[in-house]
Amino acid sequence: QKEVEQDPGPLSVPEGAIVSLNCTYSNSAFQYFMWYRQYSRKGPELLMYTYSSGNKEDGRFTAQVDKSSKYISLFIRDSQPSDSATYLCAMNTGAQKLVFGQGTRLTINP
């Protein structure tokens, strides 16, 4: 069993929809949770990070962590075609290495 599980998709939604992307994990020692966005043929870019449980909002993006369920989510409101990308979750205990999910490929249709 992988430490971090992420549905690879693909996920296709119409423009303006609310998108929900999720990861589950097995290591209860994880404390830091990140979401990266990766456009085709580019490197991943950091979108958001959260520490421990709770929500964090940044514009149209909301990251949510539920440590009791070992479940993290990224919500995108009012989705735009420019949000079409692969989204990777990542997490660690505070040590240097990150554990990544496989990534979910998202397409927003105009």
Q: How many CB atoms lie within 10 A of CB 62?
A: 17
CA angle 87-27-73, nearest 5°? 30
To other proteins, the closest distance from the beta carbon of 27 in angstroms equals 13
Closest CA to 25 of 73, 59, 86: 73
Q: Smallest gap, in angstroms, from Cβ of residue 75 to other proteins? A: 19
With respect to other proteins, which residue has the nearer C-beta, 42 or 78? 42
Burial of 74 (0-12, 13-18, 19+ CB in 10 A): buried
Tokens of 10: 């693909």
Choice between 91 and 106, CB closer to other proteins: 91
Q: List residues binding other proteins (CB under 8 A).
A: 8, 31-32, 34, 36, 41-46, 49, 51, 88, 90-98, 100-103
Shortest Å distance, C-beta 81 to other proteins: 22
- The secondary element (H helix, E strand) that includes residue 37 is strand 32-38
Tell me whether residue 49 or residue 61 sits nearer to other proteins (CB atom): 49
Report, in Å, the least distance between residue 38 CB and other proteins: 8
Looking at the Cβ atoms of 18 and 39, the one nearer to other proteins is 39
